[in-house]
Chains A and B, each alone.
Chain A
């Protein structure tokens, strides 16, 4: 299934390709802010640990821990491939950072806005000055532990714009890159079925990304059978989604579509949780 997209001029695409391709100049995708909650007890049900990079991606997400049978059955994100991207539908320009140093070079360096024991807020503005993305990562460690990521995208320009905003992860549930993936309208997940771990015996787990909140903006969850650009969401205005997929190294995410007025901010919130 191919998501609806605006028709973009070839010139814009060429320009984007030339000037917004992956760059290796900024190294901000290593673990910077680590949060741990819960206990690594016999079932590990309350344990959650994740690390946020300086640029606002996740370098890993581990939960639970210490599961029975000595397995390290943790849902996690493969090789730090987690991040964000959005497409200015009016210009066709993509701004993205999918982790593992796979980012467009039209970002300024990220800045730390605030940090507490349970939350970190990171902001970064695009090099053209048109957009500022401010992300708050909050640890929720109550009976249903999860990570909440609130993404505030501000339109700094003097015109209203239509935006497609994506949160994306290459899930590797239970330490296994081969997962089953699918989605509903508000959730996407990858998991390893019980007894289907490489050790052949023991529990499987999954990682779910889910829309949270009451925002009126349109959203949909998706899964993809690929993990790499250009087949991955390197072009946030248009990318292929599908599912269900069985036993593949795939990816998943939440896709938001909204119009944001000049100098206004729109908010999308996602949760990561194990299951």
Chain B
């Protein structure tokens, strides 16, 4: 049975729903797309090619490979644009980032792919809703809402990539900084900053979701569960992938799991189900997981919501 956990502890949501006013900025100042309640997915989704046998690769130093030229993507894509590699054997980690800031490949330890298996999906969602309406922006790699502008590469180093994109209505700018952290227990650090651009303060309640179709150790059927700051999928007798908040957050946060490997099946592409339809702990399921943040429902211009988490194998 699916359980929307917010229904049980959502006092803040309830109070917001009762008392929040329509958002002037989003209702008046910004010209909204006509199809705001129906967001078609971008065409051209493609599956990335599976990494070919680079197991036990001996890589002493962190290495980054830019696999494409200057990239400005608007369509959903799972194609690798920036690849980071560190460590070897048990400390090996290789992950890649698309031009839009999706992490569509994560191999760690060596020989254990955690994302790029069968159907590939990883990405982010912003859902801002008031008492009367809601606004949904998402990009899960395999599918994306059509209300994003192109992505811009801000910087690239041997260990870090920084990507920015603004919603096509101009209200929000997402800046992602994704860092490869090597060491005995390597991880990919992801900092997401959503900046509110409108001159009119928002009263919309924003929720931010980072989501991934986990396929731990090359296996679609996983055990999945979550705590207050983490979500994970794993295969007993092999390894797992965990996403965990790693910085103090000003926002309400929880880990969530879904009994579907797709954004649509998880309710993530439906503006009426912000944050999706969560499940309890799952066993031997082709599911997915995420970290869900509930932001402060008032934002002046240039207000920045910051969320930091990590992907790690375990």
Q: Does A19 contact B (CB under 8 A)?
A: no
Nearest A residue to B89, CB-CB: A214
Q: Is the CB of A45 within 8 A of B185?
A: no
CA distance A195 to B281 in the complex (A): 12
Contacting A at CB under 8 A, from B228-251, are: 228-230, 232, 234-240, 242, 244-250
Contacting A at CB under 8 A, from B19-52, are: none
Q: Does A208 contact B (CB under 8 A)?
A: yes
Give every chain A residue within 8 A of B227 (Cβ-Cβ): 191-194, 203-206, 275
Chain B interface category by residue count: 35 or more
CA distance A43 to B244 in the complex (A): 13
Q: Is the CB of B184 within 8 A of A269?
A: yes
Q: Does A73 contact B (CB under 8 A)?
A: yes
Contacting A at CB under 8 A, from B177-209, are: 181, 184-185, 187, 189
Choose the segment among A128-136, A163-171, A180-188, A254-262 that binds chain B (4+ C-beta atoms closer than 8 Å).
A180-188
Q: Please, how many residues of chain A have a CB less than 8 angstroms from a CB on the other chain?
A: 43
Q: Is the CB of A182 within 8 A of B236?
A: yes
Nearest B residue to A69, CB-CB: B9
Q: Does B259 contact A (CB under 8 A)?
A: no
A-B contacts, CB under 8 A, total: 119
Q: Does B314 contact A (CB under 8 A)?
A: yes
Q: Does B170 contact A (CB under 8 A)?
A: no
Q: Is the CB of B225 within 8 A of A193?
A: yes
Give every chain B residue within 8 A of A206 (Cβ-Cβ): 227, 230
Nearest A residue to B9, CB-CB: A201
A194 with B226: in contact, given A186-B314, A187-B240 (CB under 8 Å)?
Answer: yes
CA distance A193 to B283 in the complex (A): 14
Output the least CB separation between A2 and chain B (Å): 16
Give every chain A residue within 8 A of B249 (Cβ-Cβ): 43, 45
Output the least CB separation between B7 and chain A (Å): 11
A185 with B248: in contact, given A193-B225, A210-B314 (CB under 8 Å)?
Answer: no
- A/B interface sample: 18 pairs, CB < 8 A: A42-B248, A43-B248, A43-B249, A45-B229, A143-B181, A143-B246, A143-B308, A180-B281, A184-B314, A192-B227, A193-B225, A193-B226, A193-B280, A202-B9, A203-B227, A210-B314, A211-B90, A275-B244
* A-B pairs with lowest CB-CB distance, top 4: A203-B228, A187-B314, A275-B230, A212-B184
